[in-house]
Amino acid sequence: MNKKIYELAEIIDNDLINENLTEVEREQIADNMKQYLPSGAIVLAQANPLSGDIKYNAQKALKWIKWANRLKVNAIVFPELFLLGYPLGDIVDRFPIVVEENIEWLNALAKFTTDTKVIIGFVNFNNGKIGKRYYNSVAVLSNGKVERIINKTLLPNYAEFNDVRHFESADVDSASRVVYIGGKKAGIIVCEDGWNDFDFFEKNLYSVDPVEVVVNEQHPDFIINCSASITRAKKEQLKHNMLSFVAKKHKTPIVYVNQVGSGECLSFEGASRVYDENGVLTARAKSYEEQFFIVDAEDKDGVINPLPSGLEKTLDSQKAFSLDYEPDLERTYLTIIQSIRDYFKKTGFERAVLGLSGGLDSTVCAVLLADALGAENVCGISMPSRITSSESKNDARQLAENLGINFLEIPIKDIFDVTRGKFDELFAGVEKGWNCRYEKSYTNDNIQARARATILWGVANEFEKCLSIATSDKSEAYMGYATINGDMSGGFAPIADVTKTKLFALAAWMNENRIQKNTIPQSVIEKRPGAELAINPKTGKPLLAEEALMPYEFLDEVIWRVENLHQSIGDMVDVEFLYEKKESVSKSQKQEWLKKFFRRMAYAAYKWSILPPAPIVDARSINKAEFRYPIIASKVNFNKTSEDDKYCSLLNI
Amino acid sequence: MNKKIYELAEIIDNDLINENLTEVEREQIADNMKQYLPSGAIVLAQANPLSGDIKYNAQKALKWIKWANRLKVNAIVFPELFLLGYPLGDIVDRFPIVVEENIEWLNALAKFTTDTKVIIGFVNFNNGKIGKRYYNSVAVLSNGKVERIINKTLLPNYAEFNDVRHFESADVDSASRVVYIGGKKAGIIVCEDGWNDFDFFEKNLYSVDPVEVVVNEQHPDFIINCSASITRAKKEQLKHNMLSFVAKKHKTPIVYVNQVGSGECLSFEGASRVYDENGVLTARAKSYEEQFFIVDAEDKDGVINPLPSGLEKTLDSQKAFSLDYEPDLERTYLTIIQSIRDYFKKTGFERAVLGLSGGLDSTVCAVLLADALGAENVCGISMPSRITSSESKNDARQLAENLGINFLEIPIKDIFDVTRGKFDELFAGVEKGWNCRYEKSYTNDNIQARARATILWGVANEFEKCLSIATSDKSEAYMGYATINGDMSGGFAPIADVTKTKLFALAAWMNENRIQKNTIPQSVIEKRPGAELAINPKTGKPLLAEEALMPYEFLDEVIWRVENLHQSIGDMVDVEFLYEKKESVSKSQKQEWLKKFFRRMAYAAYKWSILPPAPIVDARSINKAEFRYPIIASKVNFNKTSEDDKYCSLLNI
């Protein structure tokens, strides 16, 4: 395809965001572009919707549609459920008005359509007597009317997907799925409909493959897949391989349009694309940006925008646990940045306040927030206690200076002292009724963390559009190594799905790859993590996290094995961990760490349940949007017992 | 059935809990009972499992099975998924070891079976190449072996149900579902399999009715339904009508066994039962208690234990909104008591600490906690601030005395003052960077609530097995009228699904119906609710909640209409509210309240997401286990616009 088109399309992208052109200018640009457009041109509307705000989505869609109309392309294709805005939560069931409204908005949109067909996701009523109330549907609009409605067949209902909660599965009525676009037959499928090839997957979730049915029965010239598919470690390689395989197998090009932007915990990376009938990638949109992306399903020579560096390698590099996070760091960075930006924008917030301890977690959070919201919208507060080292205080201040964020140092000694004093009286009083006081307790440590959260929430309450930030990371979330109403409290938790070893890598990566180099003081990356809430009596120094837990390199490999390989204690005892290649670990020590992991994990489930929204980054997570561990399941045995043991333990009943 | 059986069975119930009999005594009792047992006797094992603790569940099951063996009854029937323990969360997917283990425990249990058949729910692998990894299954064990496995067909996946996340739907293979029990043909179905009659329901969720298939193809003598079905307002009447209808329609008795006990947010009330071939209820087990319940499907004359008072009326009385909560109060009370007791027991906690403000919420919570855990395990702390009235302080103290719980008064003036002082310096500092300080703010109000939570969490951290309690109610949760890290913070939230007007009724009901009368000071029930965090400048007195929100009678009707009728603003404007029968409300005032409701509700979604576990009580709730509102969906329009308005608002694009 003529590269001139892409240059001119950037003017459109800009106009769609800034509305900076007059109607006359728009027509001139369209006229100019039309000479380069191939006859099969269609637009992939890689756009960012707002969940539940149908008016916003419809108005946005129309801006895009009008540009497609001006260019007289054959069609413009929006992502799955665009009109209602994905993710939906359960609002369609509790508030059916939003479904009624989305159908009226669809009809209103249709009135503005021409020969240029509009393909757009929405929620449709199921008027049959049987089944769920709705379909997950795609409408084809043209010449002022709703020309066709296609209902989704395969409904994912695992991890972050909840399609079966709301939608009925439609039979694959292949004739209804074919629409003429520029004289060619296009077969339309919706997201998961395209993920059930019986040759590509070893196991299949569903008994029908809509792509195969449509291809075999209707022989379309190409397939269009309207999607809303989130980014995750390892997923791009799988997606690429699968789409390429299916296109080649059926000798049918696939045009894949994906949502962009973040919805609470789910991040969509865009990267919409075309595969030709040989399975060769012929065009790919940008990642993490809205784009009015012009393609031709039969063109061999589209623009292939680069993926975030190394993304395609992630599958290979993560078949085994690795401490080399390099291939995934740009994607991780962009995913979190987009998540912060969209969460704030979509909830109406602009500013963030966070505690700066001088440690790794808060440091990384501060950089991510500054990049997502602008340094002027971030306020970092250093809140030293008696235990805080001068190095930590200096690191916090230095970071804030480097970033150019607002900075304050507010010592918490006096709040700690008055609360501590109160506690002496309080606990003596409680002891009169309860003879069960701990000899050693974390109570004093926690006062510090809670005093800090009170300060941060105070700022968030006192200043407009300001959210406080929870700085917990994934390794510590697994261990429950975070204080309720303390460091795990906030309006958003940017790094809750990033393990500690990956955070170190991310910090180093940001120091090298951001425009401003070495923003993060080297001492932050070099020091060993610790909450600085308590003194280790053995060393006389602040207790290090690894002393309280286990080495992070070991811990993070356990997390990786649990999430990716679903391993139990027995599975892990006998495999060699990366950590064991460097440090000798006795078998009993290893077993002790593994048992500690599962014990602490089961008790951490309560903390997960009250953690604020956080972006999903990894291949699997403990994010509430994808995984729920019942808090009452505190006594699961993660260590296999033999059948004999079981028989014997019943014999005594 | 001979009533002697039920007397003797109480000895068994007692032995199952306390293991107070010798083996010889057990045999004697069994011999004694056998003379009264009908030839068709089967036992409904209405038991309380522990999610994920398979060993515990298996050992418990075996105790019950051994009693059934001693009596030589034909069968003993356990609830759905008993062996793994319902609810499951997502543990079977993340930790497949628990499924492997539950199958080994099933095999071990089978070794202890005799002619007395054991019917028990478990998780089975789906070894096919297609579909989810597991089935939701029931095993029939007898004579040392697994005789039969039946896989569930209808998989509920709405509200609190998540079956499709883990399970594959099995075809209704009717032959496999029939088992001979005492020479009779029993057709076995699993929970939702029994909820899809095409004549009873106007709309059906599924296209097949397993009961009909089994009856038509196999002509069983009776149906057995293994269930785990939670209690909710209005559900008992529906369940009764449906089971009775289906039994009568098919001229086939139905034996229905239900789980008892609470799992985090879900409460199962037991009340297992038998309907004869005319749809007549012939036997019913106790509610909210484990019971070894002996029935005979063909016996017309079983024991019908009473339901909590008035329960059966709830459907009728709640077809319209009512402020007469009387019919549902005993069920509400028992549901919350069971939830507290099981949540504490199952997570390993014993003690509760809560703030006593002298207001309704904390007062009702204290009574419920004392009844569930024992007064000696509850510590109430009055934490007056400058604004707290002496009446409130007295009410708190009086309540604690009446209940006999531990009580302390800890004024928070000094924590407030030092934090407030700190805030002056802090905010002045932040203002240098941000010119967006609120002129009026809630910051000072919130200090008080957060200081109190710090004290409560301090006690919870310092004393063994102690949880702090969040006292938020449902009306205030909807309005977001609760402080983060303040009154909405805690380990459990007992009344988060009870509206304010119902809480008043519950308080009065408890004063009348608990053994100790009038525990709650009358002044608590009479005073108008207010958080006592701020002074209303108009009145010079502490701000009342209704001044900040809207009248509770109005608010609670809105909640009822949204949850039960799914109404939007337009639907509600023109119907007369109960409140309007008493007080004149202008149309503009009503519209303002309705808009305020939806605006505050959408912004409260974040608070719902970090609310601690709470029992579901009402017909519908905002509990995380059943409903998720996307936090980013803050701009949903709950007010219908016309098609013309939509068209016009697009014309300007």
Q: How much is the average pLDDT of B519-528?
A: 94
- Does B164 sit within 8 Å of A653, measured CB to CB? no
Per-residue pLDDT tens digits for A338-362: 999 999 999 999 999 999 999 999 9
A515 Cβ contact list (under 8 Å, min separation 6): none
B342 phi/psi in degrees, rounded to 5 = -70, -35
- Does B653 sit within 8 Å of A59, measured CB to CB? yes
Percent of chain A with pLDDT over 90: 90
Query: Mutate which of A434, A489, A573 to disrupt the B interface (most B C-beta within 10 Å)?
Result: A434
Top-confidence residue, B204 or A315: B204
Give one word for B251, left, alpha or beta, with left for phi > 0 and alpha for psi -120 to 50. Answer: left
What does the pLDDT read at residue B64?
98
Residues A632, A638: Cα–Cα separation, whole Å: 15
Q: State the CB neighbour count (10 A cutoff) for residue A499.
A: 25
Pick from A63, A132, A446: CB nearest B653? A63
- Closest residue in A to B347 (Cα) is A632
Do residues B82 and A621 touch, judged by C-beta distance below 8 A? no
Q: How much is the average pLDDT of A22-40?
A: 96
| DSSP conformation class of A194 | G
CA count, 13 A, side-chain hemisphere, A29: 21
Q: How much is the average pLDDT of B345-368?
A: 97
Q: Kindly calculate the radius of gyration of chain A based on its CA atoms and give it in whole angstroms.
A: 27
What does the pLDDT read at residue A309?
74
pLDDT tier at A314 (50, 70, 90 boundaries)?
very low
Q: Give me A276's structure tokens.
A: 């030709």
Q: How much is the average pLDDT of B73-92?
A: 97
What does the pLDDT read at residue A603?
94
Q: How much is the average pLDDT of A48-77?
A: 98
- Does B462 sit within 8 Å of A562, measured CB to CB? no
Average pLDDT, chain A: 95
A254 phi/psi in degrees, rounded to 5 = -120, 125
In this predicted structure, the answer to whether residue A318 has a pLDDT above a threshold of 70 is: no
Average pLDDT, chain B: 95
Which residues does residue A262 pair with via DSSP β-bridges, in sequence order?
A267
Percent of chain B with pLDDT over 90: 90
Pick from B346, B609, B640: CB nearest A97? B640
Distance from CA of B526 to the nearest CA of A (A): 30
CA count, 13 A, side-chain hemisphere, B582: 6
In this predicted structure, the answer to whether residue B384 has a pLDDT above a threshold of 90 is: yes
- Does A104 sit within 8 Å of B629, measured CB to CB? no
Pick from A264, A441, A606: CB nearest B461? A441
Per-residue pLDDT tens digits for B398-426: 999 999 999 999 999 999 999 999 999 99
Contacts with B104 from chain A: Cβ below 8 Å:
641, 643, 646
A146 Cβ contact list (under 8 Å, min separation 6): A106, A107, A110, A139, A140
Pick from B100, B264, B443: CB nearest A462? B443
Q: How much is the average pLDDT of B448-475?
A: 97
- Does B423 sit within 8 Å of A408, measured CB to CB? no
What does the pLDDT read at residue B314?
47
Contacts with A414 from chain B: Cβ below 8 Å:
418, 422
What does the pLDDT read at residue A3?
87
Give one word for B450, left, alpha or beta, with left for phi > 0 and alpha for psi -120 to 50. Answer: alpha
Sequence-separated contacts (24+) of A343-349 with Cβ below 8 Å:
A343/A262, A343/A264, A343/A492, A343/A613, A343/B632, A344/A372, A344/A373, A344/A467, A344/A492, A346/A50, A346/A51, A346/A263, A346/B632, A346/B634, A347/B606, A347/B631, A347/B632, A347/B634, A348/A465, A348/B634, A349/A465, A349/A466, A349/A467, A349/A491
- Closest residue in A to B205 (Cα) is A131
Distance from CA of A346 to the nearest CA of B (A): 5
Range from A171-180, A438-447, A476-485, A506-515 carrying the lowest mean pLDDT: A438-447
Per-residue pLDDT tens digits for B114-129: 999 999 999 999 999 9
Residues A45, A66: Cα–Cα separation, whole Å: 12
Contacts with A205 from chain B: Cβ below 8 Å:
130-132
Range from A79-83, A306-310, A608-612, B437-441 carrying the lowest mean pLDDT: A306-310
DSSP one-letter string for A129-154: SBS-SEEEEEEEEETTEEEEEEE---
- Does A485 sit within 8 Å of B454, measured CB to CB? yes
What does the pLDDT read at residue A542?
85
Cα-to-chain-centroid distance, residue B247: 27
Residues B67, B75: Cα–Cα separation, whole Å: 11
- Closest residue in B to A16 (Cα) is B653
Residues A258, A271: Cα–Cα separation, whole Å: 7
Per-residue pLDDT tens digits for B560-605: 999 999 999 999 999 999 999 999 999 999 999 999 999 999 999 9
In this predicted structure, the answer to whether residue A445 has a pLDDT above a threshold of 90 is: no
How many residues comprise chain B?
653
pLDDT tier at B316 (50, 70, 90 boundaries)?
low
Which residues does residue B294 pair with via DSSP β-bridges, in sequence order?
B43
Q: Look-up: residue for tokens 């008016």?
A: A55
The pTM score is 0.97
Q: Measuring CA to CA, which residue among A94, A18, A97, A82 is closest to residue A46?
A: A82
- Does B455 sit within 8 Å of A426, measured CB to CB? yes
Per-residue pLDDT tens digits for B189-219: 999 999 999 999 999 999 999 999 999 999 9
Give one word for A275, left, alpha or beta, with left for phi > 0 and alpha for psi -120 to 50. Answer: beta
In this predicted structure, the answer to whether residue A392 has a pLDDT above a threshold of 60 is: yes
Q: Is the ipTM of this complex over 0.90?
A: yes
Per-residue pLDDT tens digits for B51-72: 999 999 999 999 999 999 999 9
Query: Mutate which of B455, B644, B646, B647 to disrupt the A interface (most A C-beta within 10 Å)?
Result: B646
Pick from A66, A624, A650: CB nearest B62? A650
Residues A212, A187: Cα–Cα separation, whole Å: 11
Q: How much is the average pLDDT of B526-545?
A: 85
Pick from B426, B627, B649: CB nearest A455? B426
Helix or strand run (H / E) with residue B407: strand B406-409
Per-residue pLDDT tens digits for A219-258: 999 999 999 999 998 888 899 999 999 999 999 999 999 9
What does the pLDDT read at residue B318?
56
